Structure 1
């Protein structure tokens, strides 16, 4: 094993991994991913000087450096990393030290060719890109733990070390693996889950199509087959894949903890990496961190950003979190990589802060001249320090530096959206009633409506305690367990308002239709049953009555994609189908249950068409939409002695924020109203909310 770092001494903080925040950072963190190995060493001193100019106080290093750190198996070269960390420390820049296991060296694959990933189609993936080896490979696991241990022994108490960064974006670009090592591990995982083959056969419903297993050795991963593969088997393989990825993280994390008390994280991709169940992952990291990149084709990308940020904060259970990566301008891997407009860099950063981030980091510090990401934007772009991007980077660093007091204030949602990765895995499998019933589309549509109405949203698992929310929305709860349904029943009976969208509460944890039929677990809550799905043809629309009580909204709503044949069991009909396969039948219902209310919406409504429906649900829940301009996003962060209103104007005209307090960026006193410029931002310290 390597010698102790020659300049290492006890960490300059008493913080342990249980404190859950990078060591040595007093205010908001600002910086990015730094890859100095791509440059001559004399450039490092220029970089560090520019970092100080930009207000950078945290950088991530070593994430793709395995081949340099361990040029041959078991042989280490830490000299360059020693010099780099000492240079950063001498300049007051904290270090987020990565384990480089997302990119094993060429020697690893040459020595262990069976550790390469095999796709569902049977293709063996080669070297020369990024992405991990087979997560079930014993050789990969041993090599990962070995390099993590070596790094922890050498740098675990270095005074520059603020945070450990294990791997990089688990599940991207590769998650599931169908190699022989994966097949063997899958069988072990199934044996632990079910105990016996009889239990496995029952859970998977193998009586269908004669799929019954008589020996464990016959069970294989669900590779491509002549027709659709058993959906329960595929759902379990998704669970297994998530488990194996997380086991890789846990092995490295525990190896580091044996030698270092500094907090440990790994960078999630929230709603952009569907193969990881972040409810489980969030419990294993000391601090949650996330990577977010705008989808260039999304003209309302800032709403997608807010949704990802709210999800990340929810995974962190409301605690402060780290924006580990986002871009200063364009990325390089989308079909059309749209550059950010002037001011958009700051708006994106302040949005993340608004939604609970206490750290704003970019990929990457200096733009790469070579490699697949040479066209990816950076804090220091190819155009250098004379560029608009550099000016905006330095301005942002200065502005964030004025917000130290905001750190550790918290965001509390007004509404909860139910979010369950296992349900999404199940719904996305083949042979569903309609290919247009897209869980991601519904989540975004319902979230966007809530965002436009100025309500702050938390995401919650269906089994979580929901008692703190007056309104809970279930846009896509296709898989709903008996325990989750009982939890929702209690929530409504105790006074909550629940709004359920179509194709929900259909199957149990084994993707088997609930006994009693569709929505059976929620029949008491919703006061109805769904006798038959009536999906619509492509481009077909249906029209629904509406009572017209919402001002300026037509008395008829328009839906598409889906309708249901609903049998009432106590629910009141709020809207009726005027045409389509369910003409004359209930379309939207409302049902008092206990002291609360359950709503059911049986067709796909657009973001605009959801407005009157949610307005009615808000009345039940005692909520109201915000009165400021829809494109003025305002989120309240709650502190101990003060609250902070973070306002971001996404519109092309100035907007008015109602507030009394001190605007922290400009130092301006606000008495009643503040005009937020088009494309501008503001952070106002205000008196904390009080409860009667």
Structure 2
């Protein structure tokens, strides 16, 4: 769908040939009219074929309750269409205008401390406010009716980064909506009291009106109340997404609808796996966080986005050409990183590469955020790099529409476990769910082994090995699914603090790891978290931190792969594996980090016969990702290093990249090559 957006009937391009989309958020209202002509000229020069428009334009489009100003947007839409640029048109509801918040301050969010979140930034609205919903949907209807037949319109962009700043609202509106949500989930107060364990601390409810969001309390709020509020908050935003989408589908049924997710480190309030079925194609925003695993995290997030999209192509709605403005130190990208970052997303299924934003702002909070056209203008290395990327994406048109080829290894990522495992009153506050998953991913990259990051909604049977790090929350049905996976020949790997609670955050009794205890053939009586900075040594030469378990082997066929050499559990099992029918189930009881996991993984992968598809000389230095279409495979080879890496042992037509004297690709520092293989 994404690769053919521009070719819809009446659209900006009558050519039906799929191609990759390239563009940015475009904010012409920030600039005088004479700049717009230069914008479209430079867009043609750079190969831009799609832009997102009107994302933060509510105050300009609707200057007052009964005032509308669409003239400037009409002109922008016409100008873009005349220059062959399609428009992903935002509904402009991301930030309410000053006249609305002045007239209706009751739409403003409230923190758990009872503080009002005032206007002055963005996203200052309650997801459950009926007043906000009324005004937002009025705007959506006005825009849909005005632009339904405009030939530039190729997609609708609902709001923007829903929940980025307002995912948790503790207002009275939220309290009422939370109670309605709980009634739908539990039906009776008895069921709710059981799920929340309200016998503890005299919390039993006798009337629905007694229930509140988990506002500031004298001690730790009820853990299931917290977990349910996280579920409710994600659902409240999803409900707003649906409300806007329904109007768009009513008026423009042939125009696809999306909204931009934020699958990247630290953004965990929205269950995107649950949201994905609500839109016509998945879109994502991603920004690199500098650090030792920065590009591994980019790859992980792009991979997870593909998993959320079910392996189908998706839309990279925002990333940065260079520095951002919101990190403590905002580093410019080094030569080659602009293209590598973009193509790494394409490798993991993106059929569109877009940036925030087209032209770097001269004023406002994001004026130091990089753009496709920087403050220095078109006569700059940055813009020349942008134009070069446009040419590269054009050469990769054959990739458009292809899907990611399933890997033999899957890493299971689960929002409920993320939320529940990091709540308060746990054995340690140092646990980082996403980091543990990323460490396993980095270790597989270091070994040159392809892996898919998948959700619990995926078909797990597609993988030979399924790694489920810190799968803390395991309902009974999921436990059965994982057991069946192993019994039918799959190889399950899980870790410390997995299988501990059910969907109500109630502990599975009888010993840990609870719901997974039988399939693993082990039992743990008490957790053994470590103090920050402490570590233990294992007899295989690795070292663990954060956590240990006092493991008792309960099944005769459970094999001990490694034991603790130091610490309170010295001599006891640290890593185990049990044969299960045609497969196996393994358990890793400590945080080994990337180095330790890289050493351990070959032993865990061996029973499945899984290894690297790369020649030995490339493993760890090159990331390989495969997209496939009828008759063709596309191998993306990404240089993970700052050195030049000759590529040998792989054949195919070089679509992009540098060929050496022998005809094989040569990857310069931070470069990407794409090979097309016939199948």
The reply to whether residue 589 of structure 1 matches residue 576 of structure 2 is yes
What's the C-alpha RMSD, in Å, of the aligned pairs? 1.9
The 5 Å alignment of 1:238-257 reads: 238-257=230-249
Q: Equivalent residue of 1:652, what SS?
A: coil
SS in 2 for 1:574: strand
Deviations 1:183-212 (A, max 9, x none): 111111111111111111000000001100
TM norm structure 1: 0.93
Distance 1:402 1:23, change over 3 A: closer
Structure 1 residue 673 and structure 2 residue 664: aligned?
yes
Q: 1:147 to 1:23 in 2, by over 3 A?
A: farther
Structure 1 residues 52-89: Cα deviation after superposition (integer angstroms, max 9, x where no partner): 00000000000000011111113211100000000000
**Aligned mate of 1:471, from 450, 460, 465:** 465
Q: State the alpha-carbon separation in 1 of the partners of residues 299 and 546 from structure 2.
A: 26
Tell me the equivalent position of 2:390: 397
Q: Matches of 2:634 and 2:56 in 1, distance apart?
A: 38
Q: In the alignment, which residue of structure 2 is the partner of 1:162?
A: 154
User: Which residue does 2:488 correspond to in 1?
Assistant: 494
Q: How does 1:173-252 map to 2 (within 5 A)?
A: 173-252=165-244
Counterparts in 2 of 1:465 and 1:258: CA distance versus 1, 3 Å = same
Give, in whole Å, the separation in 2 of the partners of 1:371 and 1:579: 55
Structure 2 vs 1, CA of residues 464 and 89 (structure 1 numbering), >3 Å: closer, same or farther? closer
Determine the C-alpha separation between the residues in 2 that align with 1:388 and 1:287.
33
Q: Which of 71, 74, 79 matches 2:66?
A: 74
**1:668 shift after superposition:** 6.0
Residues 374-453 of structure 1 mapped to structure 2, 5 A cutoff: 374-411=367-404, 412-453=406-447
Q: Does 1:350 align with 2:337?
A: no
Over 3 Å counting, the alpha-carbon distance change for 1:294 and 1:282 in structure 2 is same
Match of 1:271 in 2: 264
Could you tell me whether the CA contact under 8 Å between 1:95 and 1:160 is conserved in 2? yes
Per mean C-alpha deviation after superposition, the further-off stretch among 622-631 and 176-185 is: 622-631
User: Among 80, 86, 89, which residue is 2:81 paired with?
Assistant: 89
Question: What's the CA shift for 1:671?
Answer: 7.2
| Deviation string, structure 1 residues 363-409 (Cα, Å, up to 9, x no partner) | 00000000000000000000111211011001110111111111011
Offset of residue 299 of structure 1: 3.2
Question: Is the counterpart of residue 562 in structure 1 residue 547 in structure 2?
Answer: yes
Instruction: Give the 3-state SS of the residue equivalent to 2:274 in structure 1.
Output: helix
| CA–CA distance in structure 1, aligned partners of residues 438 and 534 of structure 2 | 21
What displacement does 1:438 show? 1.7
What corresponds to 1:98 in structure 2? 90
Deviations 1:96-152 (A, max 9, x none): 000111111011111211110001111101011011400000011111111111111
CA distance in 2, matches of 1:465, 1:425: 23
Offset at residue 588 of structure 1 (A) = 0.6
Structure 2 residue 282 is matched with structure 1 residue 288: yes
Query: In 1, are the aligned partners of 2:303 and 2:452 still within 8 Å (CA)?
Result: yes
SS in 1 for 2:606: helix
| Deviation beyond 4 Å, 4+ runs, structure 1 | 22-25, 666-672
In structure 2, runs of 5+ residues without a counterpart are 1-5
SS of residue paired to 2:529: coil
Give the SS at the match of 2:542.
Answer: strand
Q: Is the 8 A contact 2:660 2:666 kept in 1?
A: no
- Map of 1:133 onto structure 2: 125
Q: Does the CA contact (< 8 Å) of 2:446 and 2:598 recur in 1?
A: no
Kept after mapping to 2: 8 A contact 1:324/1:362:
yes
1:642 equivalent in alignment to 2:637: no
* Contact persistence 2:657–2:672 (CA under 8 A): no
Whole-Å separation in 2 of the counterparts to 1:476 and 1:256: 40
1:522 aligns with 2:516: yes
Is the CA contact 1:539–1:560 (under 8 Å) kept in the aligned structure 2?
A: yes
- Kept after mapping to 2: 8 A contact 1:67/1:105: yes
Deviations 1:126-184 (A, max 9, x none): 01101140000001111111111111111122111111100111110221101111111
Against the structure 1 CA distance between its residues 75 and 670, is the aligned structure 2 distance closer, same or farther, given a 3 Å change threshold?
Answer: farther
How far apart are residue 534 of structure 1 and its match?
1.0
Deviations 1:581-633 (A, max 9, x none): 21221111010011101110001102111123210111111111342141222
Alignment check: 8 A CA contact 1:661 1:670 kept: no
Relative distance call for 1:23 and 1:402 in structure 2 (3 A) is closer
- CA distance 1:500–1:231, change in 2 (3 Å): same
Q: Is the 8 A contact 1:664 1:684 kept in 2?
A: yes
SS in structure 2 of the partner of residue 274 of structure 1: coil
**C-alpha distance in 1, partners of 2:75/2:8?**
22
Looking at structure 2, the residues matched to 382 and 289 of structure 1 have their Cα atoms a distance apart, in angstroms, of: 28
Greater shift, 584-593 or 679-688, is seen at 679-688
1 CA distance for matches of 2:66 and 2:192?
42
Query: Paired residue for 2:587, among 600, 609, 629?
Result: 600
Change (3 A) 1:76 1:463: closer
2:255 pairs, out of 234, 240, 262, with 262
Matched residue count: 664
Q: What CA distance in whole angstroms lies between the structure 2 residues aligned with 1:329 and 1:138?
A: 40
> Is the 1:532–1:566 Cα contact (8 Å) retained in structure 2?
no
Distance 1:544 1:678, change over 3 A: same
Aligned equivalents of 1:648, 1:424: Cα separation in 2: 29
2:3 aligns to what? none
Would you say the 8 A contact 1:474–1:500 is kept in 2? yes
The alpha-carbon distance between structure 1 residues 462 and 91, as it changes in their structure 2 partners (threshold 3 A), is closer
**1:484 maps to 2:478:** yes
Question: Is contact 1:462–1:487 with CA below 8 Å preserved after alignment?
Answer: no
In structure 2, what is the Cα distance between the partners aligned to 1:311 and 1:467?
A: 17
Contact 1:354-1:635 at 8 Å conserved across structures: yes
Equivalent position to 1:655, from 645, 657, 665: 645
